[in-house]
Chain A
Amino acid sequence: MTTLPGRDHARTLLRQMLRIRRFEEKSAELYTKGKIRGFLHLYIGEEAVAVGAMQALTSEDAVVATYREHGHALARGMAMGPLMAELYGKANGCSRGRGGSMHFYDAGRRFYGGYAIVGEGLPVAVGLALADQMQKRSAITACFFGDGAVAEGEFHESLNLAALWKLPVLFLCENNLYAMGTALHRHQSQIDIAHKAEAYGIANTAVDGMDVLAVKEATRRAVEFIRVGGGPFLLETRTYRFRAHSMYDPELYRAKEEVEAWKQRDPIVTFTARLQKEGQLDETDLKKMEAAVDAEVAEAVAFAEAGPWEPVEDLTKDVTSPRAEE
């Protein structure tokens, strides 16, 4: 059992997880109302991973995420309004309505985006780490990906290259047991994902991804290892997605009992209960926190609703950079 951090920090962790949960619940609701279209992959159930892991990073570090990246973006500190506006496809969205749910970016926070082709973010993370190494910066790159990605060649190629060049990359696998609808044991001959790092001589560990403190501690250690020049690290977080893969998924591939069993380990419910049990959070505090988060979500929706549409005349803007004056 991990020990609780100080009262304020514990509450921050809870609030961050709650922000992600409520933001996504509202997104799902707005999806059914037709305000949001396209794909919407919810992170609900996995909040402890992004929130725990981001605690170990500094503002100098880079983040590469997946198409299920609402949680990573929020935990990285991106404001909720531009994220909701991006889901709406508005010009005040974090990608000016060009990316939608799967493609959030924030240059200022070194948040290099959601990658919607499984595995393709890993080589980019390797390159970001290479740039930091060559420019003698102490930053590391945290690369999030799912269990599905470990079947891709780019996973193996990226681990090999990062190990070969001793690059400061944290490979953080969010193992939620399903590559879309295909269970881990149906697509992997070796289901111990952390163990795969051994083939490349990469330090690795697996951690309970439903426990925010455990994720935080494991990430802190991994990042420390990387920062002192230990080379890349593979951290497998064992987690679970409570909702369907996307809004189109009828979930024919898993049993309701399995989902219910994992919900018993809900990272927010269990952490709340623990804080309450250890006297760090009373009912009034919790209600206050929930109200504040709900207000933030409501503001984000208002921001998105009020946002302008990108003028169609700007359709091809930013396909290429403006030409430098000769």
Chain B
Amino acid sequence: MKKITYREAIREALREAMQKDRRVFLMGEDVGRYGGAYACSKGLLEEFGPERVRDTPLSEGTFVGAGIGAALGGMRPIVEVMTVNFSLLALDQIVNNAATLRHMSGGQFSVPLVIRMATGAGRQVAAQHSHSLEGWYAHVPGIRVLAPATVTDAKGMLLSAAFREPDPVIIFEHAFLYPLEGEIDETIDPVDLEKAAVRRQGSDITLITYGGSLWKCIEAADRLASIGIDAEVLDLRVLRPLDTETIFASVAKTHRAVIVDEMWRTGSFAAEISARIMEGAFYDLDGPVARVCSAEVPIPYAKHLEEAALPQVDTIVKTAQEMVQSHG
């Protein structure tokens, strides 16, 4: 075992993918000489050269589209888009091309493209660098949407996506997670890209979340434990296709669910989870599902306002506590 950061885990995965497969290359804004906006690809240009670590112009639509073309042409590109906010400039390529080409060609083509991007708020970078739009992408058939929340998943999911996925994969990395440290094996096997994971066992209530909010939920569960509430924490990991089986199994055990999601409540991914529970596990519930989402506001700059806009441990604890007490 060794201790590395989430950022280093991504770098190890990128390095291993390029070492083992000549078809893999990196492309994106500042992935080369700068080392990546979040330093994920630092040192890789020196190691693999400019042919395989390609700095691109600020042309999100075009370099994502070029990734699609390169994937069609037999390569396995890993494209970095600096943040989900910038990915909107590439939305056409992702939604109208990457996600449709296999189906629309009657199965003739597939697009083995990995797109990584940072997401989420909490760093005082205001409304054009802080959004969480994972649910928009998870809405679209034809792409696989991943949200690694742990160091092991940061490495394992990227490796699995790069080596084994025949279709487009989008990986959301919560920007808050990059400095997170975790224990990891020296070498890891590919991880599964299908299942949700129970990160903390509990019997009174299930906190369902993904990505950056996982650690808030773990902390909330610890605090709930101190007041006698045994919370289970479920990390979705894969937003499309959605592992409803694991969600239903947990709800069947705890009979209560709080969904924590940094998207805005209206049309959030949490809304989808809530609907699935209603459809598939309604009679297991002791009371209504609750959601802790972002306030309906463009994420503001000032620290106290930003904090107020986001799901926080206090809110999660309070919501869970009220739920257990009101239909205990």
Contact = CB atoms under 8 A, between A and B. Distances in A.
A106 B56 contact: no
Contact of B70 (A130, A153, A321): A130
Contacts of B54: 165
A154 B93 CA distance: 10
B72 A124 contact: yes
Nearest to B168: A320
Given A126-B62, A157-B61, A318 B70 contact: no
Nearest to A316: B141
A324 B193 CA distance: 12
A44 B188 CA distance: 58
Interface in B1-60: 25, 51, 54, 56-57, 59
Given A127-B66, A130-B70, A130-B73, A161 B59 contact: yes
A128 interface: yes
B209 to A, nearest CB: 25
A161 B61 contact: no
A324 B109 contact: no
B69 A125 contact: yes
Contact of B104 (A107, A113, A161): A113
Interface in B157-185: 164, 166-167
Contact of B93 (A64, A123, A161, A319): A123
Contacts of B97: 115, 120, 124
Contact of B65 (A98, A126, A129, A316): A126
Range of interface residues on chain A? Answer: 35 or more
B62 A157 contact: yes
B103 interface: yes
B65 A124 contact: yes
B265 interface: no
Contacts of B166: 320-321, 324
Contacts of B110: 321
Contacts of B56: 161
Interface string B54-92: 101101011111111111111101000000000000001
A160 interface: yes
A74 to B, nearest CB: 18
Nearest to A102: B104
Interface in A111-155: 112-113, 115, 117, 120, 122-132, 134-135, 141, 153-154
Range of interface residues on chain B? Answer: 35 or more
Contacts of A93: 106
A135 B25 CA distance: 12
Contacts of A154: 61-62, 65
Given A164-B57, A324-B166, A132 B105 contact: no
Contacts of B105: 95, 98-99, 103, 105, 107, 113
A94 interface: yes
A123 B65 contact: yes
B23 to A, nearest CB: 8
B69 A130 contact: yes
Interface string A80-95: 0000000000000111
A320 B92 contact: no
Contacts of B103: 98, 318-319
A117 B108 contact: no
A280 B109 CA distance: 42
Given A131-B75, A161-B62, A105 B106 contact: yes
B142 interface: yes
A272 interface: no
Which of B54, B72, B104 has its CB near the most chain A CB atoms (within 10 A)? B104
A62 B68 CA distance: 14
A96 interface: yes
A243 B51 CA distance: 46
A16 interface: no
A126 B69 contact: yes
Given A112-B109, A120-B65, 17 more contacts: A94-B106, A95-B104, A96-B107, A99-B106, A105-B106, A123-B64, A124-B68, A127-B71, A128-B69, A131-B71, A131-B72, A134-B75, A135-B75, A153-B59, A318-B107, A319-B102, A324-B166
9 contacts: A96-B106, A105-B104, A107-B109, A120-B93, A123-B62, A130-B66, A130-B73, A134-B75, A318-B107
